[in-house]
């Protein structure tokens, strides 16, 4: 085995799969050495030899039902191992499909089956842990992870701390010594890399699901103290005081209808959401009366404008025109599709407003066939993390871990259903279990004959689900 590893190390170096210079790893660390195993697919003999030797690390006493390669570099390695070992393979997609079955895990499998993870290189171990999390969500049992290269920068410990056994063909130190002995690199290169490894490690990662579950287990009062936005703190405190998670969508076209509904619902809701541009008889007196009701019954007003243009345009849309949204809306909704400039534009629109204001970023939508999936979701979370106006995300699932943000989930009805225009509804209990802190209910209340009784029913079910979610 030792001789095989030495020969393989030399071959990998000669096909430029191991490079020395100035590079940056996936987790953002600068490094004098870079292992790029993507090149092996152009060298079938080396490809087969590497896959074969890696599979010898598998504990034969441990039965395996499935193999899963971490996308993308490890996928061909896992595929070859699957074929040679006659063990089925599943693929964990980088992102769920936005069409068809919307699957994240592809392949034929069932809960309770044992799965082995195949990975090319680990630095922090985050890629392996992300795959493990999604496989476990499908009920698969992860027995071990087989890795070609351990960069010795904390990944092994992070994976082992999550309860996963890990074996690697090489550590970076072992690889260096093979190449040094073969005369492929100089002692100076070895010294440089070893010095780098002694001082540069990745931060410990939280255990699988620990960070996201932590948010769901915390009560609103505790989370209010962690919010970076003052309005977010006030919303958490209000929800706790009124024991409500209800955001009422008053998507009505007449001012009198909205005001009557606000009078009935006001004592029982946290937020009243409107679409000002569908109101047929909009006037300044309506805004004045709505603000008075919000003060009387203690709820916040959200204009569900879903701004989605360039910064200068949204600045004008928010502050000018007949609606002057910036002057009265405590909260607004924004699509991140235009890029970070949209947040700068809204900051500009609010620069002369003294009251607390906040933005809900529309990161996911509840309509059928929505394009807000995969990288869109990830990029939205990253982009909005730097804006202090963000109070939370409009989303369908537990996609962020920050307990100081609010998950606002639309599409809620007492019974799971859909309408003729692609809207899909989930029950109060299911959305709270999926991470919702505020649930948007519209037609389930506005179409009800006894609106107050219906409001109280939603309020009670949502709060009961929250209490169960946060129960120790």
Q: What is the CATH number of the domain that holds 55?
A: 3.40.50.2020
Instruction: Pick the last residue of a domain from 199, 226, 255.
Output: 199
What is the sign of the dihedral through the CA atoms of 77, 83, 85 and 88?
positive
User: Would you state the structure tokens that stand for residue 368, as one six-digit string?
Assistant: 């059928």
Give the span between the Cα atoms of 236 and 226, in whole angstroms: 10
Identify each DSSP E strand in 190-244 by its residue range.
none
Q: Specify if 209 maps to a domain.
A: no
Examine the domain organization and report whether 173 and 234 are in the same domain.
no
> What does the pLDDT read at residue 27?
62
Same domain, 26 and 123: yes
Per-residue pLDDT 10s for the chain (472 aa) are 899 999 999 999 999 999 999 988 766 678 999 999 999 999 999 999 999 999 999 988 889 999 999 999 999 999 999 999 999 999 998 765 544 455 789 999 998 899 999 999 999 898 998 899 889 878 889 989 999 999 999 999 989 988 899 999 999 999 999 999 999 999 999 999 999 999 888 767 655 444 556 889 999 999 999 999 999 999 999 999 999 999 999 999 999 999 999 999 999 999 999 999 999 999 999 999 999 999 999 999 999 999 999 999 999 999 999 999 999 999 999 999 999 999 999 999 999 999 999 999 999 886 777 787 767 888 898 888 889 999 999 998 888 889 999 999 998 888 755 544 444 568 899 899 889 999 999 999 999 999 999 999 999 999 999 999 998 6
User: In this structure, is residue 11 part of a structural domain?
Assistant: yes
Please tell me the predicted confidence (pLDDT) of residue 99.
47
Which residues, at least 6 apart from 119, have a Cβ–Cβ distance to it below 8 Å?
Answer: 69, 70, 74, 127, 128, 145, 146, 147, 148
The pTM assigned to this predicted structure is 0.60
- Indicate if 267 and 138 belong to the same structural domain: no
The residues annotated as belonging to the active site are 304, 306, 309
Query: Does residue 166 share a domain with residue 280?
Result: no
pLDDT at 220: 96
Q: Using alpha carbons only, what angle is made at residue 268 by residues 270 and 264, rounded to the nearest 5 degrees? A: 115
Dist CA 58 CA 21 (whole Å): 33
Could you check whether the bond before residue 276 is cis, i.e. omega within 30 degrees of 0?
A: no
DSSP 218: S
Three-class DSSP category at 67: strand
In a domain, 204, yes or no: no
Q: What is the pLDDT of residue 133?
A: 84
Query: Are 285 and 421 found together in one domain?
Result: yes
Task: Compute CA 23 distance to the chain's CA centroid, rounded to the nearest angstrom.
Answer: 27
Which pLDDT does position 374 carry in this prediction? Answer: 67
Last residue of a domain, one of 166, 199, 232: 199
For the stretch 67-71, contacts whose Cβ atoms lie closer than 8 Å and that sit 24 or more positions apart, written own/partner, are: 67/115, 67/116, 67/118, 68/92, 68/115, 68/116, 68/117, 68/118, 68/131, 68/135, 69/117, 69/118, 69/119, 70/117, 70/118, 70/119, 70/120, 70/127, 70/128, 70/131, 71/131
Q: What is the CATH number of the domain that holds 408?
A: 3.20.20.70
Cβ atoms of residues 248 and 455 within 8 Å: yes
CA distance 455 to 208: 37
Domain of residue 158 covers 2-199
Which residues are annotated binding-site positions for substrate? Answer: 251, 273, 366, 423, 442-443
Q: Which is nearest to 180 in space by CA: 189, 172, 171?
A: 189
Among 133, 165, 199, the domain boundary falls at 199
302 and 271 in a common domain:
yes
Return the pLDDT at 102: 54
Do residues 148 and 31 share a domain? yes
In a domain, 233, yes or no: yes
**302 contacts: CB under 8 Å, gap ≥ 6:** 247, 271, 272, 273, 274, 329, 330, 331, 332, 333, 360
Query: 254 and 183 in one domain?
Result: no
Same domain, 55 and 91: yes
The per-residue pLDDT for 326 is 97
Inside any domain, residue 207: no
CA distance 363 to 312: 22
Based on the fold, state whether residues 182 and 265 are members of the same structural domain: no
Cβ atoms of residues 326 and 340 within 8 Å: no
Both 119 and 232 in one domain: the answer is: no
399 within some domain: yes
Residue closest to 456 by CA, chosen among 242, 249, 302, 273:
242
How many domains is the chain partitioned into structurally? 2
> With contact defined as beta carbons under 8 Å apart, do 246 and 439 qualify?
yes
Can you give the C-alpha Rg of the chain in angstroms?
27
Residue 331's DSSP bridge partners are 302, 358
Judge if 345 and 452 occupy the same domain: yes
Residue 356 lies in a domain: yes
Whether residue 374 lies inside any domain: the answer is yes
């Amino acid at each position: 085995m030792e001789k095989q590893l030495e020969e393989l190390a030399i071959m990998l170096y000669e096909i430029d799969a191991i490079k020395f210079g100035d590079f940056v790893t996936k987790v953002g660390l600068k490094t004098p050495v870079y292992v790029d195993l993507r090149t092996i697919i152009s060298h079938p003999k080396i490809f087969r030899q590497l896959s074969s030797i890696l599979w010898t690390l598998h504990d034969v006493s441990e039965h395996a039902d499935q193999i899963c390669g971490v996308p993308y570099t490890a996928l061909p390695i896992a595929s070859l191992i699957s074929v040679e070992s006659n063990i089925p393979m599943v693929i964990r997609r980088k992102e769920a499909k936005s069409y068809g079955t919307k699957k994240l895990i592809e392949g034929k499998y069932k809960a309770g089956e044992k799965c082995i993870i195949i990975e090319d290189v680990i630095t922090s171990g985050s890629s392996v842990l992300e795959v493990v999390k999604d496989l476990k969500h499908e009920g698969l049992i992860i027995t071990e992870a087989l890795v070609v290269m351990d960069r010795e920068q904390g990944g092994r410990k992070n994976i082992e701390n999550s309860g996963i056994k890990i074996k690697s063909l090489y550590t970076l130190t072992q690889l260096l010594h093979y190449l040094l002995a073969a005369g492929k690199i100089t002692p100076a290169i070895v010294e440089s890399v070893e010095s780098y490894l002694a001082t540069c490690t990745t931060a410990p990662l939280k255990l699988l699901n620990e960070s996201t579950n932590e948010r769901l287990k915390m009560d609103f009062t505790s989370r209010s103290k962690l919010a970076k936005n003052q309005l977010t703190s006030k919303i958490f405190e209000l929800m706790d005081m009124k024991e409500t998670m209800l955001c009422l969508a008053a998507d009505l076209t007449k001012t009198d209808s909205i005001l009557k509904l606000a009078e009935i619902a006001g004592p029982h809701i946290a937020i009243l959401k409107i679409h000002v541009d569908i109101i047929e008889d909009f006037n300044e007196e309506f805004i004045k009366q709505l603000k008075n009701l919000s003060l009387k019954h203690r709820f916040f007003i959200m204009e569900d404008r879903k701004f989605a243009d360039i910064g200068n345009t949204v600045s004008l849309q928010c502050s000018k025109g007949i609606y002057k949204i910036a002057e009265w809306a405590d909260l607004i909704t924004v699509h991140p599709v235009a890029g970070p400039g949209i947040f700068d534009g809204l900051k500009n629109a609010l620069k002369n407003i003294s009251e607390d204001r906040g933005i809900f970023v529309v990161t996911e939508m509840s309509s059928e066939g929505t394009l807000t999936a995969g990288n869109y979701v990830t990029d939205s979370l990253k982009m909005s993390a730097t804006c202090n106006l963000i109070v939370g995300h409009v989303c369908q699932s537990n996609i962020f871990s920050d307990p100081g943000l609010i998950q606002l989930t639309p599409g809620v009805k007492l019974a799971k259903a859909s309408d003729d225009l692609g809207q899909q509804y989930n029950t109060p209990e299911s959305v709270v279990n999926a991470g919702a802190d505020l649930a948007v209910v519209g037609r389930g209340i506005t179409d009800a004959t006894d609106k107050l009784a219906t409001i109280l029913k939603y309020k009670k079910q949502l709060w009961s689900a929250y209490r169960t979610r946060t129960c120790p």
